[in-house]
Amino acid sequence: MSNVLGSGLVEFENLVKDGAVELLNHIEVGDFSGAIKIIQELSEARHNSFYNEVGCLTRSLHDAIRDFQIDSMDLVVGEGQDSATKITDASDRLNYVIETTSAAANKTMDMVDSSVPVASELQNQARVLRKDWSRLIQRDLTPQEFRDLYKRIDVFLSYADESATTLHSNLNTILLEQGYQDLTGQVIARVNDLIRDVEDKLVHLVAVAGRVDSISGIEHKEKKSDHDDTRGHGPAINKQNNPEVLNSQDEVDDLLSSLGF
């Protein structure tokens, strides 16, 4: 692909080389109007090859974006979507990831919230019964207390049965909620493909722009974009490769204690 896209520029370079020789010939024999005609031709060729190149790149970028499809997701987001702007679509899909992960996290926490009191109550009842049970073992119960304990054990056993059923069902719900990982993973993988594809085209665009610069003699000052710490960076990816990022709570604690914390 890059050969096809770059061919216009190679052609242009050859044209410049040939033109230079011709130009020199015209000047040597004193034919200045002929020389100026060649300069004009070169200038036109320069414009044409540049615009052709940009045209090709724009088309291939547009194609890449248009070709972006997430077939499996069509079931989830709905049908009949306009395929014109897949970047917007990708953005929608990422929002879907945020919503899905948030819903799964909340559902999981709902289940934890409803399980914790059940487990606590089970624990409380078991502790109370165990105390009386050990008194029974030590033959320290009155007949009335024994009859009472007898009934309470029965109540407890049926409560334990019910509680275990509730906890079991809550745990199953939590398990099923983890399915979000599959759905969101698929979406993210597709969006990732689009980003890679677009990046490839952009890298090519930059390479071509570099060639155009070298032909036209334009120089750019490099802008240094340093992200502001105050705004935050989000979670660090590839922590191990970045000496500026601390890898664990222990390292954070060490740094703080070295600062007198």
Partner 1 sequence: MKILIVDDFSTMRRIIKNLLRDLGFTNTVEADDGTTALPILQGGTIDFLVTDWNMPGMTGIELLRAVRADEKLKSIPVLMVTAEAKRDQIIAAAQAGVNGYVVKPFTAVALKEKIEKIFERIDAAK
Which CB atom, from 123 or from 158, has the smaller least distance to partner 1?
Answer: 123
Which range of residues in 101-109, 138-146, 174-182, 199-207 is near partner 1 by CB under 8 A? 101-109
CA–CA distance, 1 with 53 (Å, rounded to integer): 12
Q: How many other CB atoms sit within 10 Å of the CB of residue 146? A: 13
Q: Which stretch binds partner 1 (CB under 8 A): 79-87, 198-206, 207-215, 236-244?
A: 236-244
Q: Is 120 in the site for partner 1 (CB under 8 A)?
A: no
Q: Closest approach of Cβ 260 to partner 1, in Å?
A: 8
Choose which of 4, 84, 137, 259 interacts with partner 1 (CB under 8 A): 259
The answer to whether 252 contacts partner 1 (rule: CB under 8 A) is yes
Is residue 154 helix, strand or coil? helix
Site string for partner 1, 146-165 (x = CB under 8 A): --------------------
How far apart are alpha carbons 28 and 101 in whole angstroms? Answer: 75
Q: Provide the minimum distance between the beta carbon of 16 and partner 1 in the complex, in angstroms, as a whole number.
A: 49
Q: Rank residues 221 and 231 by Cβ distance to partner 1 and give the closer one.
A: 231
- Complex with partner 1: residue 217 or 234, whichever CB lies closer: 234
Task: Mention every residue, 6+ apart, whose C-beta is less than 8 A from residue 141.
Answer: 132, 135, 149
Alpha carbons 80 and 14: distance in angstroms, whole number: 49
Nearest approach in angstroms of CB 163 to partner 1 is: 20
Q: Could you tell me the two tokens for 188?
A: 């993210």
- Residue 33 within binding range of partner 1, rule CB under 8 A: no
Residue with tokens 């896209």: 5
Structure tokens at 34: 């002929």
CA distance 139 to 146: 10
Footprint on residues 214-233 left by partner 1 (CB under 8 A): 229-233
d(CA 166, CA 160): 10
Structure token pair of residue 186 = 């698929």
Least separation in angstroms between residue 93's CB and partner 1 is 19
Report the distance separating Cα 172 and Cα 150, nearest Å: 33
Judged by DSSP in three states, 208 sits in: helix
Which residue has 């309470």 as its token pair? 152
- Asked if 189 interacts with partner 1 (CB under 8 A), we say no
Q: Which stretch binds partner 1 (CB under 8 A): 28-36, 47-55, 63-71, 238-246?
A: 238-246
Q: Which residues bind partner 1 (CB under 8 A)?
A: 102, 105-106, 109, 112-113, 229-236, 239, 244-249, 252, 255-256, 259, 261
